[in-house]
Amino acid sequence: MLRSSTTALVAIVSIAFVVSVYAAPLSSSAVLTENALRQLVPRSDGGVAGGSAAPFAFVANFEDKKLDGFSSKSGTTPTVGTTPSYSGEPALKSTAASGNQTDVASTGFVRGENTLSFEVAMDAGGVGKGYFGLATAGNTFVAVVGVRAGEVVAGPNLGHLTAIEAVPTTTAQPTGWVDLVANVDVNSSSPSMQVFVDTTSAIAATIHVPKVANYAEAEIETQHGTVHYTNVYVTTYELATYLPGYNNMEGYGQGSGLLVEKLPEFKVYTATMTLHSWSVPQNGILSFQINAMNQSGTVRSTCKGFFQLGLSLDKNGKISPWYVPGVDCQSTNFAPPTSTPGGSTLVLSITWVSASSEIVFSIDDLTINTTWTHAIPYTHGGFFGAYTQMEFQPCCNSSAIGNYALDGELSNMTTTTTGGATASLPASYMLPFQLDSPPSWFLGYYQGSAAGYDETST
């Protein structure tokens, strides 16, 4: 989830707890190498979110250059490589060399969910035919999206595909790639699938999927040529939020995560930011931020009940504080651009003050001894979700993302419950996945605690 600026809409995917971003030689912070990192693996976490009995999130982004839970059922076993890459990130290479190539994954899947979302980024090379979706335990699709000779298609199975549109060429996705998301209503009287193509500002198609309740696994099938797949997700968390003028699929360079359980009700969310250095060609495009959500904002990806506090990284060593008030995704600056030196340490906090019925946003720059605060009226209870985020605005930038240099860290994420207990965010709260970053950035994981998650990069 993200903000919209006061001058233009912002387009980003969700979150990462701990991000260290480098466009220059590494700083002295304790950054681990890629080989030292615990790799992300698909798993299921219990809890309560969005009314689901047993929410889960399956992620396969192939950052470990392995198959991430997929196993071959037919054809030549796929490989993972970086050519062509998804903006510098690895992808699964599937080739229909001797018949269809079929790969399935079911690790961590929970059957019987009322709603599901799934997502895949694909590059079919203009002539390939590849598909991804939900399938039965017998490897039969029950809800599927894909690319067929340059055309996006979707259907209840491969025998009943609907042509939606040509693969877009003018979006924020890397050249040749298309990002497909489906929100699936599983157990209604008329099960359906909303399909989104490189955008969530409009539903590209609604497809009847009568047998989707029989899902048991995720399936990749390549029928012709070579097709590359990455950013594969299946989750009970709603990935695409349809809001006219707002697009949470167009993001690039953000950390992302999937909520799988609510936190105990809390009143304060705090994180520490260290800015070693940055260089940007345009103000207001690159930012760090923290997010806290109340009950409604946690169980559904929406602008309602979603509170955000951040810093835009501007030219000439300046920063600009802003907040999002929880009623829409519009951000408001609450302090003018201010200079702060490299190496600055800042503490960001979002606080619910029940006694005065307000939320207080606070940024304390410990290096220049300056504090910015802003309060808004609020009467809707405590928070149940929190995360940090790095944000790049592809809608509004006039310079390539590789021209943005940043060396910074977010750390020490803590919540304070309504009972006064302070703790780090638990490792089971969210299933994270890799940032899609340009090759000009180095992303390192630096915090080996339960509040941190592994972020690897090629």
pTM: predicted TM-score of the whole model, two decimal places: 0.71
Fold of 57-235: Jelly Rolls (2.60.120)
pLDDT score at 253: 38
Q: What is the mean pLDDT of the segment spanning 196-203?
A: 88
Partnered with residue 129 across adjacent β-strands are: 148, 224
- CB 391, CB 291: distance < 8 Å: no
pLDDT score at 433: 45
Q: Percent of the chain scored above 70 by pLDDT?
A: 74
**Predicted confidence band of residue 172 (pLDDT cuts 50, 70, 90):** confident
Domain 20-35+251-444 CATH (choose: 3.40.50, 1.10.150, 2.60.120, 3.30.70):
2.60.120
Q: Write the CB contacts of 80 (distance below 8 Å, at least 6 apart in sequence).
A: 62, 65, 66, 67, 90, 91, 92, 93
Q: Measured in whole angstroms, how far is the alpha carbon of residue 333 from the centre of its chain?
A: 24
In the 8-state DSSP scheme, what is residue 297? H
Q: pLDDT of 87-116, one tens digit each?
A: 767 899 999 988 899 999 998 788 988 999
pLDDT score at 236: 80
Q: pLDDT of 33-77, one tens digit each?
A: 222 212 222 333 333 333 344 567 788 888 778 898 999 999 988
Q: pLDDT of 303-335, one tens digit each?
A: 789 899 999 999 999 999 999 999 887 889 999
pLDDT score at 184: 96
- Highest-confidence segment of 12-26, 246-260, 389-403: 389-403
- What is the DSSP annotation of 171-214? SSSPTT-EEEEEEEE-SSSS-EEEEEES-SSS--EEEE-TTGGG
More confident position, 388 or 226: 226
Q: pLDDT of 386-434, one tens digit each?
A: 877 777 776 677 887 778 877 777 778 899 999 999 988 765 555 554 4
- CB 148, CB 225: distance < 8 Å: no
CA dihedral over 164, 165, 167, 169, signed as positive or negative: negative
pLDDT score at 143: 98
Q: Write the CB contacts of 87 (distance below 8 Å, at least 6 apart in sequence).
A: 174, 252, 436, 437, 438, 439
Q: What is the mean pLDDT of the segment spanning 6-21?
A: 26
Query: Locate tokens 């060429």: which residue?
Result: 169
Q: What is the mean pLDDT of the segment spanning 430-439?
A: 50
User: How far apart (Å, rounded) are the C-alpha atoms in residues 450 and 448?
Assistant: 7
In the 8-state DSSP scheme, what is residue 330? B
pLDDT score at 249: 66
pLDDT score at 35: 22
Q: Which of 59, 47, 20, 36 is nearest to 431 (CA)?
A: 59
Residues in the chain: 458
Comparing 19-33, 46-60, 122-136, 154-168, which segment has the lowest mean pLDDT?
A: 19-33
What one-letter code names the amino acid at 310? G
pLDDT score at 59: 82
pLDDT score at 11: 23
Q: Write the CB contacts of 157 (distance below 8 Å, at least 6 apart in sequence).
A: 140, 141, 142, 144, 211
Phi, psi torsion values for 298, nearest 5 degrees: -80, -45
**Predicted confidence band of residue 372 (pLDDT cuts 50, 70, 90):** very high
**Predicted confidence band of residue 245 (pLDDT cuts 50, 70, 90):** low
pLDDT for residue 384 is more than 80: yes
**Predicted confidence band of residue 13 (pLDDT cuts 50, 70, 90):** very low
User: How far apart (Å, rounded) are the C-alpha atoms in residues 310 and 457?
Assistant: 25
User: How far apart (Å, rounded) are the C-alpha atoms in residues 55 and 198?
Assistant: 26
Q: Write the CB contacts of 394 (distance below 8 Å, at least 6 apart in sequence).
A: 11, 172, 250, 251, 252, 401
What does pLDDT average to over the chain? 78
Q: Write the CB contacts of 355 (distance below 8 Å, at least 6 apart in sequence).
A: none
- CB 103, CB 72: distance < 8 Å: yes
pLDDT for residue 457 is more than 50: no
User: How far apart (Å, rounded) are the C-alpha atoms in residues 100 and 129?
Assistant: 10
pLDDT score at 18: 29
Q: Write the CB contacts of 8 (distance below 8 Å, at least 6 apart in sequence).
A: 393, 395, 396
| Domain extents in the chain | 20-35+251-444, 57-235
pLDDT score at 409: 73
- Angle at CA of residue 175, ends 220 and 69, nearest 5°: 25
pLDDT score at 438: 52
